[in-house]
Amino acid sequence: MSTLPPAESGPVSVGMIGLGNMGLPMALNLLRASGPDRHIRKVTVTGRSRERSAALLAAGAAWAGTPRELAEQSDVLILMVPDLPQVEEVLFGPDGVAEASTELVVVVSATVSAAGLRTVDARLRHGTHGRMVLVDAPVSGGTEGAEAGTLSIMVGGDVEPVARVLPVLSACGSPLRLGPLGAGAVAKACNQLIVAATMSAIAEASVIAERSGLDLGALLDLLQGGYAGSRVLETKGRRLVERDYTPTGAAKFMVKDLSFAAAAAADTRTVAPTLAAVRESFLRLTEAGLGDQDLAVIHRYVGSL
């Protein structure tokens, strides 16, 4: 059972670990939403290199030397790290979050396994006698959404800790509680299936169009105005035309994300042929050495077949 204070207890101090392509702009938005008479009192960060956080520190963030020190200074701690092994390292490693004596809601914004997340939560609650609990809050919207503060944020967790973090997450986009812990992870798995399938269809259609002699840029602009239009087409279409696969998010991570979707499908006895097909495609393109490039690189992969 959690011993966290009620959500209406006042302004909160927010900590953040994971200041990469997504985490850095999210932290900047948290800073912009902080100050006197605001819900966020202050923002503190930590990481492997203080120098990489220079822009945040210049903007007003505080620095903590270790995850434990960061936890001691925070009411809500957001983790934007790659996967559960990194979450466990931050929580349970030397000078980890779980060694702090404070009450804390830890928000896992990575794309992770729902079952694994619940296991980590049970360990954290037991080890801290209920002082610390997890909420999952994976995001969608890419670096563009992270910078603009317009991310879709899929939240899972107990009602009380979720109530504490929703106003904080609102600085980064639109958070919505979808159910108990793990609901956010399942929602993100569904999101990634749709994104991967859409990107794959756009790539295949683009190769067909190019080989048929069509002006690809004109075609994709036209398609965006009809039923084929999507956020994926809007943000990735120009990349296909220009063969620009510079990563905003590496395609190889889709293999992991789609594995979580496959696990959710198995748990719910759902036959998902589209999921199986797109998972295979991203696995093969990663094996072909394209995984470090942008999601749009599936266009190059399809063209090589």
Structure tokens at 44: 């503190």
pTM of the predicted model over 0.85: yes
The answer for residues whose C-beta is within 8 angstroms of residue 27's C-beta and 6 or more apart is: 16, 19, 43, 45, 56, 61
Given CA atoms 262, 264, 267, 270 in this order, what sign does their dihedral have?
A: negative
- Rounded to whole angstroms, how far apart are CA atoms 200 and 74? 41
pLDDT per residue over 79-120, tens digit each? 999 999 999 999 999 999 999 999 999 999 999 999 999 999
CA proximity to 291, closest of 258, 265, 268? 258
How far is residue 201's CA from residue 147's CA, in Å, rounded to a whole number?
Answer: 27
Find the helix or strand (DSSP H, E) in which 211 lies: helix 183-211
Q: What is the pLDDT of residue 52?
A: 81
CB 152, CB 178: distance < 8 Å = no
What does the pLDDT read at residue 9? 58
- pLDDT tens digits for range 112-166: 999 999 999 999 999 999 999 999 999 999 888 999 999 999 999 999 999 999 9
- Reading the block at residue 133, the tokens are 């609990």
| CA end-to-end span of the chain | 54
| Whole-Å CA distances, 262 to 182, 250, 258, 265 | 15, 20, 6, 5
User: Cβ distance 130 to 98 under 8 Å?
Assistant: no
pLDDT for the residue 4: 52
Judged by phi (left if over 0) then psi (alpha if -120 to 50, else beta), residue 139 lies in beta
d(CA 302, CA 235): 19
Is 188 annotated as catalytic?
Answer: yes
What stretches of the chain adopt beta strand conformation (E)?
A: 12-17, 40-46, 62-63, 76-79, 104-108, 132-136, 139-140, 151-156, 173-179
CB 296 within 8 A of CB 199: yes
Digitized pLDDT (tens) for each residue of the chain, 305 residues in all: 444 544 555 789 999 999 988 999 999 999 999 988 888 999 999 988 888 888 899 999 999 999 999 999 999 999 999 999 999 999 999 999 999 999 999 999 999 999 999 999 999 999 999 999 999 999 999 888 999 999 999 999 999 999 999 999 999 999 999 999 999 999 999 999 999 999 999 999 999 999 999 999 999 999 999 999 999 999 999 999 999 999 988 999 999 999 999 999 999 999 999 999 999 999 999 999 999 999 999 999 999 99
CA distance 182 to 228: 31
What are the extents of the domains in the chain?
7-179, 186-304
Nearest CA among 64, 58, 51, 72 for reference residue 17: 64
Read off the tokens for 140.
């969608």
Quick one: residue 5, left, alpha or beta (phi over 0 = left, psi -120 to 50 = alpha)? beta
Burial of 129 (0-12, 13-18, 19+ CB in 10 A): exposed
Give the class (CATH, top level) of 7-179: alpha beta
Annotated catalytic residue within 42, 188, 236, 252: 188
In DSSP notation, 67-126 reads HHHHHHT-SEEEE--SSHHHHHHHHHSTT-GGGS-S-EEEEE-S---HHHHHHHHHHHHH
CATH number of the 186-304 domain? 1.10.1040.10
- Compute the C-alpha angle 176/177/183, nearest 5°: 120
Please enumerate in sequence order all residues whose Cβ is within 8 A of that of 197, keeping only pairs 6 or more positions apart, or say none. 274, 275, 278
What pLDDT sits at residue 1? 42
